[in-house]
Amino acid sequence: MLQVENVLKSYDKNKVVRGVSFHVQKGESFGLLGPNGAGKSTTIGMISGIITPDQGEIKVDGLSIKKNALDIKRKIGVVPQEIALYPTLSAKENLVFWGKMYGLSRNEAVKRATEVLEYVGLGERAKEKIETFSGGMKRRVNIGASLMHKPELLVMDEPTVGIDPQSRNHILETVKELNKNGMTIIYTSHYMEEVEFLCNRIGIIDKGKMIALGTKKDLFQRVAEGTIIKISVSQLDESFLNIVKEIDEVGKVIPHPEDLTIEIFVTNHQKVVGEIITLAVQAKVDVQSLEVNEPNLESLFLSLTGRSLRD
Amino acid sequence: MKKSLLIAWKDFTIRIKDRKGFITMLLTPLLLTAILGFALNSVMGGEGGFPETKVGIYISDDDKLAENFVVDVLPTFSFVTIKESKSEEELKDLLTEGKVDVGVSFPEEWSSGSNQGALKNVTILEKPDQRTKTTLIESMLKSYSEQVQIHAVTTRTVMQDISASVAASTDEINIQQVASEIQLELQSITGGELKQVSIGEKNVGSMQYYAAAMAVMFVMFNMTLGAKSLLQERTTETLKRLSMTPTGKESILFGKFLGTLWFACIQFMVFFGATSTFFKVDWGSNLYQVITVGFCYSFAVSGLSMTIAAFVKEEKTTDVISSIGIQILAILGGSMLPIYLFPEGLKTIASLTPNKWALTSFLDIMSGTTWSELFPAISILLSLGCITLALGTWKLKTN
């Protein structure tokens, strides 16, 4: 369905996307995960045809974005990060307008707008102005606008930013159902739980580069030291950190001076926890709390970059 | 084109739904027309157009050309009443007592230097509250003086050449007769005593003037409203979303232009209908001329809105342009005060403003004019629209 091959994009001397490549199969739900400023939105912009890559190739259904931009735009629906709607028009008027912009006739657009509003759970508020809606409701209409022309590929750029948990769940369930019904999804977020919930395959992007790509299982296996032991201490002792690093089952050790915590990546936490406590006592480091986290995308990102996804 | 029309219609719907803005754009000009029209009715001479003007005249000697101005020129204007005085002091008294509105005092041998193209200065006595009438009389005198000098200098030059010719030296022609014929010929070419190019057959009343002036000023606000609409689309990312649809950049930008043009035209037509119906404003006998000028002006304003949108980054800047820039343009273009009251320098600057061309065209239509006389203004407005639309579109496309 989608092929992104070695795309590059720079603004002045700032290289925003540096040779990103990935493929998305028809009917797949692909997650693009990365912190703010990683280059996700620029990649999405290039797939949507509004940003021209400096180098590389993007193809949708075999059509090159460089030569067939308008044809590709008919096939894809894009949910922008911002609520790109007209606040003084009603929800239905907005959807009808966007539908017509995708080539629907007036009758088709009106009919489809009613269906879409029901689908996103706002059928009863069709005639109300967008400006009167809550953030979550606006987000749902924002998604609805990109579903008007029944796109084959739905590209969603952080569609849940700044909304309440209830609306967020509604959106995630809607996206899941769309994918179940055969729509190909590309979902970008810096919330790893969302990507984990929705996507079969995931690409992790950081500083404009794809640093990991594969199924969830593949990615977790790549993190040999998948479990994180997080301990809270009274002070950060350099000698204690060095001793912990020497344990065989321990991978990376990342101290966080700002909140006096240490994250320790381990392969066998049951074996190591006791040893770490003992070493702490010997080093006269007061351990105030300890938690064990199973491997997830957050830990993967942390192990790859040494930074948190939300840094 | 279809997509452009969709965008234009969407913009029009948004602006119609903004009731506060819509009312401001329609009711405010109607209200201002009513206030200014009624308030300045007496100053501008009511529906008769030019105000009744009593002119006091003092001629120091028996200067023929000065007498010609008083006896032959001034009486041709129905709104002018002449009162001659025996001295400049008496003239001042008449003015102080309010028996005349303007005083004109010709010095001794006023036209003695006309052959050299120089006339002595005429003293104009004015009352501060009669500035409009004074300006009118000054304009007439100035026009007459120019005609006198043209006649005199041209005749002298031609006569010098003829005198030097062989035919004259051999008495084959009568020099005096030739001079008289040249004078008569010049008079017929220049249209008589005074030029009356732009006044037309009918006079324009205060209500008519301000109806045209307010229409022009408020249609001009579309310049910033159109630009602001585009900037808002950029801020709210709907412009980006439009770019994600299968629509070319040119179609999107042309749609924005059409939206502004559509609203400006509707606004003008509603205002035109309202002033004709409620205030009985006579916009002239040629409806097609009114519609054509209204469209061309709206076209120019919409083109300018694209250029402003292209060169302005923030919506706030358009608000500043709207509140200050348009007021300045409105003053320069004659929407606040009639252009004929302006000094020459300002009149020249006014010609750089599109609203001046629109306003003077509407006034010409009201007083009765031909298509050929409207042609320069129509051409200027259309050219301005095309150039600014092209410039704005080019710049926005490359942004």
Examine the domain organization and report whether B134 and B227 are in the same domain. Answer: no
A310 in a structural domain:
no
Q: Which of A41-45, A91-95, A166-170, B252-256 has the lowest mean pLDDT?
A: A166-170
Examine the domain organization and report whether A208 and A84 are in the same domain. Answer: yes
pLDDT digits (tens, 9 = 90+) for A162-190: 788 888 888 888 888 888 888 899 998 87
Best interface-test mutation with A: which of B238, B244, B397, B398 has the largest number of A CBs within 10 A?
B244
Examine the domain organization and report whether B174 and B143 are in the same domain. Answer: yes
pLDDT digits (tens, 9 = 90+) for A54-77: 888 899 888 888 888 888 889 899
B197 in a structural domain:
no
Structure tokens at A84: 């790109």
Examine the domain organization and report whether B27 and B89 are in the same domain. Answer: no
Structure tokens at B240: 């980006």
Examine the domain organization and report whether A234 and A182 are in the same domain. Answer: no
* Contact between chains at A101 and B3 (C-beta distance less than 8 A): yes
Q: Which among B341, B303, B335 is positioned nearest to B222, based on CA atoms?
A: B303
Q: Which residues pair with A11 in a beta bridge?
A: A14
Residues of B in contact with A74 (CB under 8 A): 246
CA distance A72 to chain B (A): 8
CA distance B79 to chain A (A): 54
Domain limit, last residue, from A215, A237, A271:
A215
Question: Where does the pLDDT of residue B204 fall: very low under 50, low under 70, confident under 90, or very high at 90 and above?
Answer: low
CA distance A65 to chain B (A): 12
* Contact between chains at B240 and A84 (C-beta distance less than 8 A): yes
Domain limit, last residue, from A181, A215, A249:
A215
Residue of A nearest to B18 (CA): A88
pLDDT > 70 in chain A, percent: 95
Number of domain units in chain A: 2
Residues of B in contact with A89 (CB under 8 A): 10, 13-14, 17
Examine the domain organization and report whether A143 and A183 are in the same domain. Answer: yes
Examine the domain organization and report whether A68 and A197 are in the same domain. Answer: yes
Residues of A in contact with B236 (CB under 8 A): 82-87
Whether the pLDDT of residue B310 is over 70: the answer is yes
Whether the pLDDT of residue A216 is over 80: the answer is no
Q: Residue A240: give the domain boundaries.
A: 224-294
Examine the domain organization and report whether A26 and A62 are in the same domain. Answer: yes
Domain CATH number, residue A55: 3.40.50.300
* Contact between chains at B237 and A50 (C-beta distance less than 8 A): no
Domain limit, last residue, from A197, A215, A233:
A215
* Contact between chains at A98 and B237 (C-beta distance less than 8 A): no
In the prediction, which pLDDT does B172 show?
61
Question: Where does the pLDDT of residue B43 fall: very low under 50, low under 70, confident under 90, or very high at 90 and above?
Answer: low
Q: Does B14 touch chain A (CB under 8 A)?
A: yes
Examine the domain organization and report whether B32 and B60 are in the same domain. Answer: no
Best interface-test mutation with A: which of B238, B242, B243, B251 has the largest number of A CBs within 10 A?
B238
Examine the domain organization and report whether B362 and B231 are in the same domain. Answer: yes
Examine the domain organization and report whether A170 and A278 are in the same domain. Answer: no
| Cα distance between residue B252 and residue A229, in whole Å | 54
A123 in a structural domain:
yes
Residue of B nearest to A70 (CA): B246
Domain CATH number, residue B120: 3.40.190.10
B198 in a structural domain:
no
Q: Which residues of A touch B (CB under 8 A)?
A: 48-50, 70-71, 73-74, 78, 80-89, 93, 97-98, 100-103, 145
B196 in a structural domain:
no
* Contact between chains at A93 and B13 (C-beta distance less than 8 A): yes
A300 in a structural domain:
no
Examine the domain organization and report whether A30 and A174 are in the same domain. Answer: yes
Examine the domain organization and report whether B247 and B386 are in the same domain. Answer: yes
Whether the pLDDT of residue A93 is over 90: the answer is yes
Examine the domain organization and report whether A178 and A258 are in the same domain. Answer: no
B194 in a structural domain:
no
Whether the pLDDT of residue A44 is over 80: the answer is yes
A52 in a structural domain:
yes
Of B237, B245, B248, the CB nearest to A102: B245
Domain limit, last residue, from B160, B189, B218:
B189
In the prediction, which pLDDT does B44 show?
54
Examine the domain organization and report whether B294 and B214 are in the same domain. Answer: yes
Average pLDDT over residues B330-336: 82
Question: What is the pTM (predicted TM-score) of this model?
Answer: 0.67
Whether the pLDDT of residue B38 is over 70: the answer is no
Number of domain units in chain B: 2
3-state DSSP assignment of residue A49: coil
Q: Which of A103-107, A296-300, B67-71, B363-367 has the lowest mean pLDDT?
A: A296-300
Examine the domain organization and report whether B230 and B352 are in the same domain. Answer: yes
* Contact between chains at A50 and B240 (C-beta distance less than 8 A): yes
Domain limit, last residue, from B164, B189, B214:
B189
Inter-helix orientation angle B354-367/B206-220, to 10°: 150
A299 in a structural domain:
no
pLDDT digits (tens, 9 = 90+) for B147-180: 777 777 776 666 666 666 655 556 666 666 666 6
Examine the domain organization and report whether A262 and A283 are in the same domain. Answer: yes
A311 in a structural domain:
no
Domain limit, last residue, from B134, B160, B189:
B189
Question: Where does the pLDDT of residue B41 fall: very low under 50, low under 70, confident under 90, or very high at 90 and above?
Answer: low
In the prediction, which pLDDT does B187 show?
53
* Contact between chains at B238 and A86 (C-beta distance less than 8 A): yes
In the prediction, which pLDDT does A168 show?
85
CA distance A103 to chain B (A): 8
Q: What is the rounded average pLDDT for all residues in chain B?
A: 80
Q: Is the dihedral of CA B131, B137, B142, B145 positive or negative?
A: negative
Examine the domain organization and report whether A87 and A140 are in the same domain. Answer: yes
B195 in a structural domain:
no
Q: Residue B214: give the domain boundaries.
A: 2-42+203-398
Average pLDDT over residues B285-312: 90
Average pLDDT over residues A201-211: 87
Examine the domain organization and report whether B16 and B55 are in the same domain. Answer: no
Q: Which of A72-76, A268-272, A275-279, B12-16 has the lowest mean pLDDT?
A: A268-272
Examine the domain organization and report whether A107 and A202 are in the same domain. Answer: yes
Better-predicted residue by pLDDT, B24 or A253: A253
3-state DSSP assignment of residue A42: helix
Examine the domain organization and report whether B27 and B59 are in the same domain. Answer: no
Indicate whether this complex's ipTM tops 0.90: no
Examine the domain organization and report whether B123 and B228 are in the same domain. Answer: no
A306 in a structural domain:
no
Residue of B nearest to A89 (CA): B14
Examine the domain organization and report whether B27 and B84 are in the same domain. Answer: no
B134 in a structural domain:
yes
Q: What is the 3-state secondary structure (H, E, C) of chain B?
A: CHHHHHHHHHHHHHHHHCHHHHHHHHHHHHHHHHHHHHHCCCCCCHHHCCCCEEEEEEECCCCHHHHHHHHHHHHHCCCEEEEECCCHHHHHHHHHCCCCCEEEEECCCCCCCHHHCCCCCCEEEECHHHHHHHHHHHHHHHHHHHHHHHHHHHHHHHHHHHHCCHHHHCCCCCHHHHHHHHHHHHHHHCCCCCCCCCCCCCCCCHHHHHHHHHHHHHHHCHHHHHHHHHHHHHHCCHHHHHHHCCCCHHHHHHHHHHHHHHHHHHHHHHHHHHHHHHCCCCCCCCHHHHHHHHHHHHHHHHHHHHHHHHHCCCHHHHHHHHHHHHHHHHHHCCCCCCHHHCCHHHHHHHCCCHHHHHHHHHHHHHHCCCHHHHHHHHHHHHHHHHHHHHHHHHHHHHC
CB atoms within 10 A of CB A188: 25
Examine the domain organization and report whether A18 and A154 are in the same domain. Answer: yes
Residue listed under structure tokens 């990649």 = A43
Whether the pLDDT of residue B294 is over 50: the answer is yes
Residues of B in contact with A98 (CB under 8 A): 241, 245
Cβ-Cβ pairs closer than 8 A, A with B, add up to 59
A228 in a structural domain:
yes
